[in-house]
């Protein structure tokens, strides 16, 4: 279905603020660039996506378990992983207005025909000069040369400044799985191939603003690391590419809005890598990555920690360091993709507009809204139904305003069903259920409602 042409990122940002989905971080103090807070509606959506991921990648996935590792890790982890030496962005300052920019993003913004990932810093600098790329803030063409800035946030550990030592907020969750490889394998007697999943916060000192929650300084990752024998790696790389599409489409993202983008310039240790991109209102961009990381990570941790990371194959008696296939998802980017896909503005037959979030019932923030038709007559019964249904799933109660306005409010936060309590409920125990997308209504007995909703959630 073609979307209303009024839809753009600004409209979605406003909608999210007004509907309690996402607010600008520390807003009363003027905000903090690239930080956002999830409101009462947004947190439900986010939690539902998290649960769907855990179910797919840990619960239903063959031979998978989870961990919840610390955000703060021994700094040697980041030496071993290579983040201290090379987790950096190529930045240029505008000499006129003093704003800072990522050289690769300036080039991407200028032309989609060239891939800055394949260019050296010198090549990017001369491309920017030759093509007269201007500062997006002030329009001048006067940049400093490129400098590499590390993206890791530093903090200090220790009671006094003198005794303190630098530690880092983790820029990815993956190292928590890698450093616990031996612990997990031995404690649960795991046999290869097996996977470790984790959901948690990661932090990056990103300077490129814009596009709402797409790029933030604090975000949540959902990462799954599959440990396998060399030779099985290509098969599992393909498996996680397919699995990724299955997961994203199960959230309601249409297949035709998803595509793979292979990495042209592979990291020196990677054998294969691709991103899954989603078609946002601002264009296709990355929501997750799949990487064949070879045995690089565990080899590096063996080298830096001195601990033997080899796995002993009980059948062949071979000893080797496992390969890793990583499937890494940005939770906030997936929430944004779901909102972007679900948001629509419909013009109704009477010429009025309704704003709607067509979110799949399985991940919708609230599954059903309980609406007493007339507050003073129907509230007690409605409260009784509300108290019963909220034992099963997230339910919302709304008694203020006309019934039409209340329907609109629920459409706007993606509640798939509205239950109206009226005289028929008091007399015969019958309620009306309205469908968000079709606006059609059906009558049900009160005791059938929980089953009806459970079925819709599973569809
Ligand atoms: P990008 O190229 O957009 O900076 P990346 O390739 O550095 O992303 P990865 O290191 O592969 O990203 O991280 C895995 C996932 O984490 C990404 O696919 C994305 O969904 C998410 N992610 C990475 N950086 C951010 C960020 N600053 N804000 C929100 N999500 C992020």
Q: How far is the CA of 330 from the centre of ligand 1 (A)?
A: 6
Model-level pTM?
A: 0.92
Q: Say how many Å lie between the CA of residue 222 and the centre of ligand 1.
A: 11
Instruction: Write out pLDDT tens, residues 274-327.
Output: 999 999 999 999 999 999 999 999 999 999 999 999 999 988 999 999 999 999
Among 33, 115, 211, 215, which residue has the most ligand 1 atoms within 8 Å of its CB, making it the best to mutate?
215
Q: Render pLDDT for 238-278 as a digit per residue (tens, 0 to 9).
A: 999 999 999 999 999 999 999 999 998 888 888 999 999 99
Question: Do the first three CATH levels of 52-73+157-341 and 366-458 match, i.e. the same topology?
Answer: no
What is the pLDDT, as a whole number, of residue 74? 94
Q: Per-residue pLDDT for 6 more than 90?
A: no
Helix (H) or strand (E) holding 372: strand 368-372
What pLDDT, on a 0 to 100 scale, did the predictor assign at position 409?
97
Pocket test for ligand 1, best of 38, 107, 274, 330 (most atoms within 8 A of CB): 330
Ligand 1 centroid distance, CA of 171 (Å) = 10
In tens, the pLDDT along 30-63 reads 999 889 999 999 999 999 999 999 999 999 999 9
| Gap between the Cα atoms of 183 and 189, Å rounded | 10
Residue (of 430, 432, 420, 437) closest to 364 by Cα position: 437
Average pLDDT over residues 391-400: 96
Q: Give the pLDDT confidence of 139-194 residue by residue, as tens digits.
A: 999 999 998 889 999 998 877 766 678 999 999 999 999 999 999 999 999 999 99
pLDDT at residue number 162: 66
Compute CA 168 distance to the chain's CA centroid, rounded to the nearest angstrom.
22
Task: Please write down the long-range contacts of 80-84, taking CB distance under 8 Å and 24 or more positions apart.
Answer: 80/300, 80/301, 80/303, 80/304, 80/305, 81/175, 81/178, 81/297, 81/300, 82/300, 83/150, 83/152, 83/168, 83/171, 84/150, 84/152
Pick the CATH number of 88-150 from 3.40.1360.10, 3.40.50.720, 1.10.510.10, 3.30.40.230: 3.30.40.230
Give the strand pairing for 368-372 and 395-397. parallel
Residue to substitute in 174, 276, 283, 286 for testing ligand 1 pocket (most ligand atoms within 8 angstroms of CB): 286
Helix 103-110 and helix 121-130, axial crossing angle in degrees, nearest 10: 40
Nearest CA to ligand 1 atom 4: 215
CATH class of 52-73+157-341: alpha beta
Gap from CA of 294 to ligand 1 centroid (Å): 20
State which ligand 1 atom lies nearest to the alpha carbon of 217: 27
Mean of the pLDDT values across residues 439-450? 96
Name all residues whose Cβ lies below 6 A of ligand 1. Answer: 172, 204, 206, 215-216, 219, 221, 286-289, 328-330, 332-333
CB atoms within 10 A of CB 144: 12
What pLDDT is stored for residue 459 in this prediction? 84
Distance 263 CA to ligand 1 centre (A): 14
Query: Domain boundaries in the chain?
Result: 52-73+157-341, 88-150, 366-458
> How high is the pLDDT of residue 197?
98
Class of domain 366-458: alpha beta
Residues 6+ apart with CB under 8 A from 365: 21, 41, 42, 44, 45, 48, 359, 394, 413, 414, 415
What is the chain's mean pLDDT, rounded? 94
Q: Whose CA is nearest to atom 26 of ligand 1?
A: 215
Give yes or no for residue 355 having a pLDDT over 80.
yes
Reported as a pLDDT band with limits 50, 70 and 90, residue 100 is confident
| 60 alpha carbon – ligand 1 mean position (Å) | 25
């Amino acid at each position: 279905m073609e979307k209303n042409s009024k839809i753009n990122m600004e409209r979605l940002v406003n909608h999210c603020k007004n509907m309690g989905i996402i607010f600008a971080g520390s807003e009363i103090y003027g905000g903090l660039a690239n930080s956002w807070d999830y409101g009462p509606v947004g947190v439900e959506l986010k939690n539902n996506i998290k649960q769907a991921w855990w179910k797919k990648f840990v619960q239903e996935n063959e031979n998978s378990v989870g961990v919840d590792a610390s955000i703060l890790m021994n700094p040697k982890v980041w030496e071993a992983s290579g983040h201290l030496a090379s987790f950096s962005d190529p930045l240029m300052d505008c000499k006129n207005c003093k704003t800072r920019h990522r050289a690769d993003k300036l080039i991407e913004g200028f032309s989609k025909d060239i891939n800055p990932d394949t260019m050296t810093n010198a090549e990017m600098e001369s491309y920017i000069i030759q093509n007269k790329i201007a500062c997006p803030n002030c329009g001048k063409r006067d940049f400093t040369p490129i400098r590499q800035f590390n993206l890791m946030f530093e903090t200090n550990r220790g009671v006094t400044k003198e005794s303190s030592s630098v530690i880092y907020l983790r820029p990815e969750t993956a190292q928590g799985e890698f450093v616990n490889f031996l612990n997990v394998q031995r404690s649960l007697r795991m046999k290869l191939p097996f996977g470790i999943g984790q959901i948690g916060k990661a932090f990056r000192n990103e300077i490129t603003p814009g596009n709402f929650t797409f790029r933030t300084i604090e975000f949540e990752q959902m990462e799954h690391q599959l440990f396998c024998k060399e030779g099985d790696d290509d098969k599992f790389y393909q498996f996680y590419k397919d699995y990724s599409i299955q997961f994203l489409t199960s959230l309601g993202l249409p297949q035709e809005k998803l595509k793979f983008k292979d990495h042209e310039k592979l990291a020196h240790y990677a054998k294969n890598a691709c991103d899954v991109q989603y078609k946002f209102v601002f264009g296709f961009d990355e929501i997750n990555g799949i990487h064949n990381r070879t045995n690089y990570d565990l080899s590096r941790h063996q080298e830096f920690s001195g601990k033997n990371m080899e796995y002993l194959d009980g059948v062949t008696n071979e000893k080797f360091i496992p390969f890793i296939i990583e499937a890494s998802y940005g939770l906030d980017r997936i929430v944004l993709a779901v909102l972007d896909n679900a948001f629509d503005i419909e013009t109704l037959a009477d010429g009025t507009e309704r704003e709607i979030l067509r979110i799949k019932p399985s991940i919708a923030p609230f599954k059903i809204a309980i609406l007493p038709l007339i507050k003073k007559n129907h509230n007690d019964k409605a409260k009784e139904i509300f108290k019963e249904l909220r034992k099963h799933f997230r339910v919302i109660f709304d008694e203020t305003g006309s019934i039409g306005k209340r329907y609109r409010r629920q459409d706007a936060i993606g509640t798939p069903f509205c239950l109206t309590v009226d005289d028929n409920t008091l007399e015969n125990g019958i309620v009306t259920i309205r469908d968000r997308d079709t606006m059609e209504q059906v009558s049900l007995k009160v005791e059938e409602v929980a089953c009806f909703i459970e079925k819709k959630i599973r569809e």
